[in-house]
Amino acid sequence: MLVLENVRSGYGQVEVLKGVSLEIKKGEYAAIIGANGHGKTTILRTASGLLRPSSGRVKFDGEDITGMPPYKVAEKGLIHIPEGARLFPQMTVQENLVAGAFAKSSWRNKAKNLARVYQLFPNIAERKNQLALTLSGGERQTVAIARGLMAENVKLLMIDEPSAGLAPILIDEVYEKIGEIRKTGVGVLVVEQSPKRIADCDCIYLIENGEVRMQGSAKEVLESKEVMQAYLGS
């Protein structure tokens, strides 16, 4: 579904990704882990088109999307939910969701998709007329995920640190929601700091210094000495 081939990418002169290759299969639940500043977010930003790779290819659903602008990537069904939720603060919850249906094909079905996400996340339906800036951290994260699901034909949801800044009980809730989304057949790729949240992933990539240090099943990766080293500092 999503394939990165030897991708180099970064900000200006600073190269963050030094040749990253990975493959997320259709409907798969995958995770990218690693310490801060090693390029996890850069992988998502390059996949969604916010950053243009300096070399290498990005493919999605069999199509080369390297260098495609973000709005076109989103229309293909590859949805990136950025770190910190990034809601539109001066818009209501519902307006935020509607903004997620901006693409013409999504806009036609926005009433149907609104009903669907409110059913999936009843707690935000209660807050639909509240300004986004008044929400708590957990609610913000939920609205951000719901906004991503307002696009028609979502194939893969890339969520950057859904647990950042949240209390443990709220993190459990967010991951419960991610579980529900997976049941609808949507693939999910999360970027995560803490290994224990992703024990049920199909596939995990450990990123270190802009490269894939290790990849494999959750058990293989989480119990490896590489992960121990990355998190405990050799």
Partner 1 sequence: MVETALLLPPLLSAIILGSLYALMAMGLTLIYSTIRILNFAHGAFFMAGAYIVWWLNTPESATRLFGTMIPVSGLQLPLFVAVIPAVIIIFGAGVVTQKALILPLIRKPNTLITTLVATLALATILESVATVIFGGGRFSYAQELVVGNVRFGELIVTYVEIIQFAVAIGVLAALYLFLKKSRIGIGMRAVAQDLDAASLCGINTQTVYLLTFGIGAALAALAGFLLTNTIFLSPSVGATPLTIAFIVVVFGGIGSVPGTVIASYVVALVQQYVTLLLDPSWGLSFAFILMIAVLIIRPRGLFGFKET
By beta-carbon proximity to partner 1, the closer residue of 101 and 186 is 101
CB of 144: closest distance to partner 1 in angstroms? 8
How many residues does the structure list for the chain? 234
Residue 100 binds partner 1 (CB under 8 A): yes
Cβ-based neighbours of 45, under 8 Å, separated by 6 or more: 9, 51, 80
Report the DSSP beta bridge partners of residue 212: 207
Total site size for partner 1, rule CB under 8 A: 29
Contacts of 60 (CB under 8 A, 6+ apart): 1, 2, 3, 47, 73, 76, 77, 78, 155, 156
**Rounded CA separation 27/189 (Å):** 10
Judged by CB under 8 A, the chain residues 27 through 86 that form the site for partner 1 are: 48-50, 69-71, 74-75, 79-82, 86
Residue 170 Cβ, how far from partner 1 at the closest point, in Å?
Answer: 21
CB of residue 230 to partner 1, shortest distance in Å: 28
Alpha-carbon dihedral of residues 207, 215, 203, 140, nearest 10 degrees? 0
Q: Which is nearer to partner 1, 58 or 222 (CB)?
A: 58
Judged by beta carbon, residue 38 or residue 147, the one nearer partner 1 is: 147
Quick check: 107 binds partner 1 (CB under 8 A)? yes
Comparing CA positions, the residue from 147, 181, 140 lying closest to residue 161 is 140
Minimum CB separation of residue 212 from partner 1 in Å reads: 24
Binding site for partner 1 (CB under 8 A): 48-50, 69-71, 74-75, 79-82, 86-91, 95, 98-103, 106-107, 147, 151
